[in-house]
Amino acid sequence: MPMFAHQKFQDQVRHPSDQALWEGMVRGFGACSSRPLWQSKVLGGIDRCQPEVDQPMILEICAYSPSAARQAWCAGADRVELCDSPSAGGISPPSGWFSEFSPADRQRLVVMVRPDGGGFVYSAFQLDQMIASITWLRENAMAGAVVFGALTADGEVDCVACRRLIQAAQGLPCVFHRAFEQVRDHRQGLADLIDCGFQRLLCGLSLPQLVALKSLAGERLTIMPGGGIRSHNVSAYLAAGFTEIHSSARLHAPCLPDESELAKLVHCVRQPQVWA
């Protein structure tokens, strides 16, 4: 993704009309709750809830083992976010796992880069560990993308750390994960992510907030909803125009996707008439 002037984007997101856009979308989108999402009109007649059925939907499943990844692909998922330790919220998977994937399947992996289950403010040593992990993944063609997130102690995106990690990726797509939900100013955080060069943001904020972020990001960065998304509520995200969805598809088992839930999610994503 091409970089663009940081100050220019800051000017855009701080413009009074943009502030009104943000507040209007969050406020106006709530009106959709009383009727089908695709019938709702907000922002002066712009149909923000109209499904974009002509654009293919990408389904990404979070997997905590190679067997869970294979299960997701067999069910029809497009991508797998591979990580370890669900109790810690996901950390870097063991290097030994990658021998279980074919070279083609490795390119469908989005690999978590997180040294431990602590917070997202990293020491110099931890950052070096993350850089080494990304370098290994890239040099050995073990992933189609990497996912990570670094924050400052003040609750801002750690742009210095993120730029070092993106530099280590050397063109391997980079995704900022749900650490974004802890950022104090989401609009400024979005500007920082785009300025750093991220391709995608995985985020579990509320649907109105995600719609607002999507509008502000435009074509510069993909907003991928993820966090509690299951077959019973995925239609709301599809109807809002999101083109990528992230889910663990877990119901009861702590580590494995639920087979029935996976099938339902794939059906919802592949059959737009189910929700349109």
- For residue 254, the domain's CATH number is 3.20.20.380
Give the SS3 label for residue 227. coil
Model confidence pLDDT, tens digit, residues 109-157: 999 999 999 899 999 999 999 999 999 999 999 999 999 999 999 999 9
In this predicted structure, what is the pLDDT of residue 56? 72
In this predicted structure, what is the pLDDT of residue 255? 74
Q: What residues make up the domain containing 39? A: 6-274
Give the SS3 label for residue 262. helix
Number of independent structural domains in the chain: 1
Model confidence pLDDT, tens digit, residues 31-64: 333 333 333 333 233 233 334 445 678 999 999 9
C-beta of residue 211 within 8 angstroms of C-beta of residue 21: no
Model confidence pLDDT, tens digit, residues 174-208: 999 999 999 999 999 999 999 999 999 999 999 99
In this predicted structure, what is the pLDDT of residue 180? 98
Look at residue 187 and tell me if it is in a domain.
Answer: yes
Look at residue 43 and tell me if it is in a domain.
Answer: yes
Q: Where are the alpha helices (DSSP H) in 91-224?
A: 103-106, 124-139, 159-169, 186-196, 207-217
In this predicted structure, what is the pLDDT of residue 1? 32
In this predicted structure, what is the pLDDT of residue 272? 56
Please give the helix or strand (H or E) that residue 206 lies within, else none: none
Q: Where are the alpha helices (DSSP H) in the chain?
A: 6-14, 16-29, 66-75, 103-106, 124-139, 159-169, 186-196, 207-217, 234-239, 259-270
Look at residue 1 and tell me if it is in a domain.
Answer: no
